Amino acid sequence: MSRQLTRSRELQNRAEKLLPGGVDSPVRAFRAVGGAPPFVERGNGAYLWDADGNRYIDYFGSWGPMILGHAFPPAVEAVQRVAAHSASFGASTAAEVELAELVVKAFPSIERVRFVSSGTEATMSAIRLARAFTGRKYVVKFEGCYHGHSDGLLVKAGSGVATFGIPGSAGVPEEIAGLTLALPFNSLLAVEAAFAEHRGQIACLIVEPVVGNAGCIPPEGGYLQALREIATREGAVLILDEVMTGFRVALGGAQELYGITPDLTTLGKIVGGGLPCAAFGGRVEIMKMLAPLGPVYQAGTLSGNPLAMAAGIATVGHLIEQRDEVYPALESLSAAVADGLAAEAAKAGVAMTTNRAGAMWTWFLTPGPVTDFATASSSDTAAFARFHGAMLDRGVWLPPSQFEAVFLGTAHTTDDIEQTIAAAKDAFAGVLAA
């Protein structure tokens, strides 16, 4: 099959004369999978339409937040209503309080919360708080986990830097990078060794409880609980980066799913219904160190902006009210498509490992198992590029990198699942069959 991409190619050529690489975020350039990146014109429910009129079943959902589908009507109506009064005030509104109440209801570990505009701001601020609270400087992160693009967190950050083969980022002084200890995910021995070597100097551990930026990698049994115990024993702050998992793998995120209580939590744009919004929050005694109560400064004119708050209230409110319907449906549909496609791969003799946590997963083109970034890196990325292109030609848009998670939402239907599995069967026979 082939798609007409005349308009998208024209737009890409124009963009490359104005934007670095023609994009405002690197993975959009399709460098890891090849081919021309479609320019999106609109979305509705589970579908995207590009500038040439091609329709796709969307399995990346703006990288996670479109859990209720594109243009979720209550969110659209709320944004339209609020926009008539202004897009920004730079002053407090009642909507901030209302959304904060919903977040705290869904995440009991969050006793106080602050809204920001991006996941990068949330994780950067959480780490600053942890350092202030403990009086320590070192940060433990895990290989393949991406916590935004602030200087100290780009060390072995998975996702985009993995896609482009970049070990970190130019422009980050080694003095800053040296304060980040990057350890293999799912290895408790490495964590114990780091605390032994830097005794009394580690401020926090920050972890994606389900890695989503090296592909989906769930924690092994007891791993997160052990991190909690080590952090408590060593007087360090445990930060769960739930930018991807929050409201997705369960209403209360991975901390609900796995029964873990962090000191601080970071949440991404799903909290704002897909608009530029994020949050960080946790224990009162840590959060009260934030200005204006304490000495840790963090500010933002667009923090808690009325458009994001309106969309967030509509989205999070719906998830809370309909949790008994939403999450079982997501689990059922996710299992059907993840397992169904894996079964077709097995029939075609394609080496594949499927990792899934709720409504996020990855099909790794490797025999597996995949338990950390090193094993994820054994995937056949060239084969994935061919698979991605073949699926796109058949109207299924997967994340354009082997090192990204797939996301599904409530707008997907059983017909979408059947079409996806049929497209994969076709793709395997055409480009990947042994």
Amino acid sitting at position 240: L
> Cα 89 to the chain's mean position, in Å?
29
* Helix H or strand E segment including 125: helix 119-134
* Helix H or strand E segment including 202: strand 202-207
Q: Are 242 and 282 in contact (CB under 8 A)?
A: no
Q: Is 50 a catalytic residue?
A: no
Q: Are 202 and 190 in contact (CB under 8 A)?
A: no
Q: Is 269 a catalytic residue?
A: yes
How far apart CA 185 and CA 227 sit, in angstroms, is 11
How far apart CA 176 and CA 139 sit, in angstroms, is 11
Q: Is 146 a catalytic residue?
A: yes
Q: Which residue is associated with the tokens 């032994």?
A: 196
56, 269, 327, 393: the active-site residue: 269
Angle at which helices 223-234 and 188-197 cross, to 10°: 10
How far apart CA 307 and CA 219 sit, in angstroms, is 35
58, 241, 263, 393: the active-site residue: 241
DSSP of 96-107: HHHHHHHHHHH-
47, 146, 223, 258: the active-site residue: 146
- Return the active site residues: 146, 241, 269
